[in-house]
Amino acid sequence: MVDRALDGGGERYRQRHRTRGRLLARERIELLVDQDAPFLELSVTAGAHTDFAVGGSVVTGIGQVSGTEVVILANDPTVRGGSMSPITVRKILRTADLS
C-alpha cells in the first residue's frame, strides 16, 4: 500500500510533471524542511481499500522549517490533476487537528 501511495499518479504522470519543469510534492517538501531535519509523513495509506487514490492526492506531515516544527500539506498533482476527493478532505482535516 505504501508503495502505491508513494507512486502517486504513476510514472507517466510523474514524468509529464517533470518535463514541465515542476517538482513533485515530496521533492518540494524536501526543499522546504531544514537540511538533515526529519519529516514525519502522516496518513500515507489514507484511502486504501476504497475507490479513491491511496494517499488521498495530498502529502501531509510534520517537519522543521527555520528551526520551527510545522504542519506541512502539499497537493500531489500527479493524482487526478491534484483534484480533491472525500479522502483528501478527511486527511487534511485530520492533519489540521494537530496544529
- Residues of the chain with pLDDT > 70, as a percent, come to 98
User: Quick check: 11 pLDDT over 80?
Assistant: yes
- All structural domains of the chain, each given as residue ranges with its CATH number in brackets, are 2-96 (3.90.226.10)
pTM recorded for the entire structure: 0.83
For the chain, the average pLDDT equals: 87
Give the list of residues 6+ apart from residue 57 with CB closer than 8 angstroms, or none.
Answer: 75, 76, 79, 80, 82, 83, 84, 85, 87, 88
Whether 2 shows a pLDDT value over 80: the answer reads: no
- Residue 5, pLDDT score: 73
For residue 67, give every residue at least 6 positions away whose Cβ sits within 8 Å of its Cβ, in sequence order, or none.
34
Q: Which residue's C-alpha cell is 519543469?
A: 21
> Could you read off the pLDDT of 12-45 as tens digits, one per residue?
888 888 899 999 999 999 999 999 999 999 988 8
